[in-house]
Copies of this chain bind each other. A is one copy, B any other.
Amino acid sequence: MSEPAPGLSAEQLGAYFALVEVGSLLQYAVDEHLRIDGDLSHVQFQVLARLVDAPGGKLRMTDLADGVVYSRSGLTYQAGLLDKRGLITRSPSPDDERSVMVAVTKLGRGLVARVLPGHVDRVRRLLFEPLTGDDVTALNVVLGRIRDHMRAAPPRSAKPRARRNQTD
């Protein structure tokens, strides 16, 4: 867009485009690695990583969905794939019979452990190689501020759950 850019300075526009492009390239590279190295989509990796991080290696479906953005059915779909591969297990929660507890299996942990080094390595080479320590600090501060701002004004699934159907 070489237009007057109604509302954004040239510098802002440049930063915006750079952010989009960097994010896109990074995601492309990382996704490719996850797929080749572990036959995992990004979302699947996120699910596993969350579980590995969770206390006891288990979380409820809902807690997972809240973190991974997904629609519920989408998470069920992905969980089904991971389950089929023996990377997670699903079992009814003892506390709440409606809930399903998802747990990483040993196999799942192994896969994450196997994939993580290459993942981190790509990020370092792609993202941090050309940066000084000060650059990283600056990036961290500014992006952190943006993230907090974005989180504060929930742009996402603002609709809490979609009421059954009202105007429909």
Q: Which A residues contact B (CB, under 8 angstroms)?
A: 1-3, 5-9, 11-12, 14-16, 18-29, 32, 49, 52-53, 69, 116-117, 120-121, 123-124, 126-131, 135-140, 142-150, 153, 155-156
Contact = CB atoms under 8 A, between A and B. Distances in A.
A140 to B, nearest CB: 4
How many subunits of this chain does the assembly comprise?
Answer: 2
Most buried by B among A22, A26, A29, A52: A22
B131 A14 contact: no
B144 A138 contact: no
Contacts of A15: 127, 136, 139-140, 143
A18 B143 CA distance: 6
A44 to B, nearest CB: 15
A28 to B, nearest CB: 7
24 contacts: A7-B117, A11-B136, A11-B140, A15-B136, A16-B127, A18-B139, A18-B140, A18-B144, A19-B143, A22-B143, A22-B146, A23-B24, A25-B155, A25-B156, A28-B69, A32-B155, A126-B155, A130-B145, A130-B146, A131-B142, A135-B142, A138-B138, A138-B139, A138-B142
